[in-house]
Amino acid sequence: MKVNVLHLAKLVNMPLKPGESEKLQAGFDSTLKAVDELKKLPTAKTKSTFQVTKLQNVWREDIPQPERGFTQKQALSQAKKTYQGYFLVPRVIDDEA
Amino acid sequence: MKLQPVIGLEIHVELKTKTGMFCGCSADHFGKAPNTNTCPVCLGLPGALPVPNHQAIDWAIMIGLALDCRVNLESSFDRKHYFYPDLPKGYQISQYDDPFCQAGKLSLASGKIIRINRVHLEEDTAKMQHQVIDGQKMTLVDFNRSGVPLVEIVTEPDIASGEEAKEFLKKLRDIIRSLGVSDCDMEKGSMRLEPNISWSESPEKLNNYKVEIKNLNSFRFAQQGIDFELKRQKELLDQGKTPVQETRGYNPQKRATFSQRVKETSADYRYFPDPDIPPIVLTREYVENLRTKLPQLPEALANEMVNKFHLSLSTAQLLSKDQLKLAYFNQYKNQVEPLELANLIVNKKIDLDQPPPTKAASRAVDLNIIDQVLKENADAVAKYRTGKTSVIGFLVGQVMRLTGGKVDPKQVQDKLLKALQVRNLQG
Ligand SMILES: [Zn+2]
């Protein structure tokens, strides 16, 4: 398997400096090579899964938990920019409005 | 090759649970000061663990059951990745491979069946407002809505016009409201519509483009937007051009759609099961128990009211889909003649906060009307004579209709029976 670093960088919204893509490519290649070792394990009879805890139906009843909530100040405390109680970001949509 | 309008709908409905899809924040976000209804989970802070809301799961399944869907006994939540400021984690928790419900249907008045592809559960995103601040085009983000349970209903592209879309949407809204799981208030955004539109050979053989319209906040605008879009695309196609595959907005003043260019989005959502949320595994009994909780759906209820109380179909339909009016009707239908009560409610001649005006005794039945009905329905009278006494209900209905329901059906039945006996003797 080969990772398309430029495509991945675009998907994760990560700007790359010159030379970085080559470095990352090498890193991915060696990581994937290590992961390839797993192919040696006999997994023909193992079902695929996305979890190993064997838990199921971990849900909660519909009861408010206000004690876990943030104040507005707390919620905004890590934001780069805020405006009148809102997070503020550059506009991402172009429309007539 | 002849092309036809091919329209599919994606509908998002916010559930009126008390809390969020994966956290204990209030699901009632409307009108609150910005960013005052958040926690580590719905702000997507690292390490916060989402735990699904049991009530939301039940309600999503009930919507699926009401739409004749198959319920998947094993389902799971998936991460749908994309970058957008309304999505703090960089992914939305949704359902991809194993949604709760699949393969349903809803029929239109014409008898045409609109197939439902799926009904799944996901989390709502933050709300964005686009403004110019200090001369810069900026976006304000409020996370109060982030994490509210959202049911997505996706149809197959079986719809052929704006009008059909409108009928389908109204019917869907009435069903969901009757379940009591969402207000489906378009103005408050608790019901959102996204039609996708193309001219294609058939719903099975789609064209190589489709256009999605977003931010439609009424059924009327949905209908208008779809019709505008069909016309716009047809003109391009007639010129030998292919419409651009894109998302468009709708401007009600101009009655036109417009291109909404979104920067830096990607169709590659890299769905995978959310490892933070173990799968949901249900039993057949569990699902059947939910099915028993379904109320009678508006259509069936309307038909029943026509048969039982001799309401006109339009009155019965209006009552059956309005929960407030329906509750009022049910509360007083044993005290006031049901047909008259229904007409009072539907014609808004009654204050739903007050008991209905105590009615003077029902007007005596005009014997001329009884006579008229018997004459006009000789077939039914003949059937009655051969022992099919159940036709009496039909005859009562005819009298009720002619009198506008202003008489007591029991009295009508008595008089009809008497008249029939007299005629029997005479005949
Ligand atoms: Zn929260």
pTM of the model: 0.76
Q: What is the ipTM metric for this complex?
A: 0.77
Q: For A63-83, write each residue's pLDDT tens digit.
A: 999 899 999 999 999 999 999
Judge: A90–B139 Cβ closer than 8 Å, yes or no: yes
The C-alpha of A97 sits at a distance from chain B's nearest C-alpha, in angstroms, of 9
The C-alpha of B32 sits at a distance from chain A's nearest C-alpha, in angstroms, of 11
3-state helix, strand, coil in chain A (%, to 5): 35, 10, 50
Residue of A84, A91, A96 lying closest to B137 (CB–CB)? A91
Query: How many beta carbons lie within 10 A of that of residue B285, not counting itself?
Result: 8
Sign of CA dihedral B371, B373, B378, B384: negative
The pLDDT, as a whole number, for residue B280 is: 95
Q: What is the 3-state secondary structure (H, E, C) of chain B?
A: CCCEEEEEEEEEEECCCCECCCCCCECCCCCCCCCCCECCCCCCCCCCCCCCEHHHHHHHHHHHHHCCCEECCEECCEEEECCCCCCCCCEEEECCCCCCEEEEEEECCCCCEEEEEEEEEEECCCEEEEEEECCEEEEEEEHHHCCCEEEEEEECCCECCHHHHHHHHHHHHHHHHHHCCCCCCCCCCCEEEEEEEEEECCCCCCCCCCEEECCECCHHHHHHHHHHHHHHHHHHHHCCCCCCCEEEEEECCCCEEEECEECCCCCCCCCEECCCCCCEECCHHHHHHHHHCCCCCHHHHHHHHHHHHCCCHHHHHHHHCCHHHHHHHHHHCCCCCHHHHHHHHHCCCCCCCCCCCCCCCCCCCCHHHHHHHHHHCHHHHHHHHCCCCCHHHHHHHHHHHHCCCCCCHHHHHHHHHHHHHHHHHHC
Tell me the residue ranges of DSSP E strands in chain A. Answer: 82-83, 86-90, 93-94
The pLDDT, as a whole number, for residue B324 is: 84
Residue of A63, A68, A91 lying closest to B130 (CB–CB)? A91
Contacts of A94 in chain B (CB under 8 A): 260-263
Task: Write the Ramachandran bin of A67: left for phi over 0, alpha for psi from -120 to 50, otherwise beta.
Answer: alpha
Residue of A51, A63, A86 lying closest to B19 (CB–CB)? A63
Phi, psi (degrees; rounded to nearest 5) at B105: -160, 155
CA distance B296 to B178: 8
The pLDDT, as a whole number, for residue B359 is: 55
Judge: A91–B264 Cβ closer than 8 Å, yes or no: no
Contacts of A13 in chain B (CB under 8 A): 83, 264
- Of A18 and B102, the structure prediction assigns the larger pLDDT to B102
Judge: B263–A93 Cβ closer than 8 Å, yes or no: yes
State what percent of residues in chain A have pLDDT above 90. Answer: 35
- Of A18 and B197, the structure prediction assigns the larger pLDDT to B197
The pLDDT, as a whole number, for residue B262 is: 59
Confidence of residue A97 (pLDDT cuts 50, 70, 90): very low
Q: Search chain B and give the residue with CA nearest A96.
A: B258
The C-alpha of B54 sits at a distance from chain A's nearest C-alpha, in angstroms, of 5
When scoring A4, A6, A62 by the number of chain B Cβ atoms within 10 A, the one with the most, hence best to mutate, is: A62
Judge: B34–A94 Cβ closer than 8 Å, yes or no: no
The pLDDT, as a whole number, for residue B155 is: 97
pLDDT along chain B (427 residues), means of 10: 90 96 93 93 94 97 96 95 88 94 93 95 93 89 95 96 94 92 91 93 86 89 94 92 88 88 62 93 95 86 86 87 85 82 82 70 66 88 84 88 77 83 61
